[in-house]
Amino acid sequence: MTDPTAPADAGEFLRERLGDAVVADRPLGPLTTYRVGGAARWFVDARSVDDLLAVADARRRTGVSVLMIGRGSNMLVADEGFDGVAVSVAGFAGEVELPDRVENGMSVALCDDGDPVEVRAGGGAALPVVARRTAAAGIRGFEWAVGVPGSIGGAVRMNAGGHGSDMAACVIDVGLIDLDDPDRGRFRTAVADLGLRFRASSLPPAQIVLDARLALHVGDRAAAEAEISEIVRWRREHQPGGQNCGSVFVNPVPGEVTSGGLIDGLDLRGFRIGTSWVSEKHANFIQADDGGSAADVRAVIEAVRRRVAEATGYHLRSEVRLVGFDDTDPMSFEEAHP
């Protein structure tokens, strides 16, 4: 059994190695789109692969729990916080590398529409940034991601998607580091070995996405930017803003049965527990009040899931990762089924 002082020991060890990149009692709520929840015992603003290797070393020595944070778009942190080391890679893995030239030696602007182009994006890069930068360069195939508020790393892990596409459709391979096997260093894994499926993957929790190579194609810049504008317009019209994580539940039968439709069928829009409620605008969005409680958000998630199961037989799988709660959320790791 791990010594209860392990998090403090881990922090002291990391401070010796990483200095001011390590902060104690960092609030995590502001780093998530729900903007609720408590603090991490220790927080590391990783600036290199070596920093991640130091975290892996601390984990091996002390048994401390490690939480990787991207854009925090599918994460709910308990009000009590996270008793471990939270790590952000945004400081060094947020880059987007666009090709100046392609294999035939011509600039992208001189290539024919449809010609393949590879783009490399860091694991901490925001999907909307990658979508806008590629579109502005006349590179198409990633416009769908402009409305997804996550990072490349998180998007690979859950095979994020929308508007007719997903990560599985464009990832070539990913650069990884394994906290369970730090001696392996940085390595690459092909998309075929990631087990990508609808809103899920087989990527082990200890393997951290440092970057992804994307297979996109040359296209008309104006058309790409127009598609992005249309996606943004559609999302503003049909989805709420405010403090939420986007869609909470995976559609149980993609293309046929939607979670939002099941929730709507039970007239649950506006259903509230304390400081959290089901959006009036989209039934698969669960909102949090400013200064609200993570416990209330979870209570609404569980209540909605229970009511849907009782009324329809569908057991909805949540896309939300629960952090710091006393118990786990097994339905986050199971396929929804009727």
- Residues forming the active site: 199, 247, 319
Q: Which two tokens stand for residue 165?
A: 């596409």
Number of C-beta neighbours around residue 40 at 10 A: 29
Classify each residue of 138-168 as buried b or exposed e, where b means 16 or more C-beta atoms within 10 Å of its C-beta: bbbbbbbbbbbbbbbbbbbbbbbbbbeebbb
Q: 286-305 as b/e, with b when 16 or more CB fall inside 10 Å?
A: bbbbeebbbbbbbebbeebb
The residues that bridge with 151 in the sheet, in sequence order, are: 126
Say how many C-beta atoms besides its own lie within 10 A of residue 95's C-beta. 12
User: In sequence order, which residues have a C-beta less than 8 Å from that of residue 157 and are 6 or more positions away?
Assistant: 201, 203, 209
**Do the beta carbons of residue 45 and residue 78 sit within 8 Å?**
no
The secondary element (H helix, E strand) that includes residue 77 is strand 75-77
What contacts 160, CB < 8 A, 6 or more positions away? 127, 145, 148, 150, 154, 166, 167, 199
Q: Is 178 exposed, middle or buried (0-12, 13-18, 19+ CB in 10 A)?
A: middle
179 and 56 in contact (C-beta within 8 Å)? yes
Distance between CA atoms of 99 and 216, rounded to whole angstroms? 11
Sign (positive or negative) of CA dihedral 265, 309, 256, 335: positive
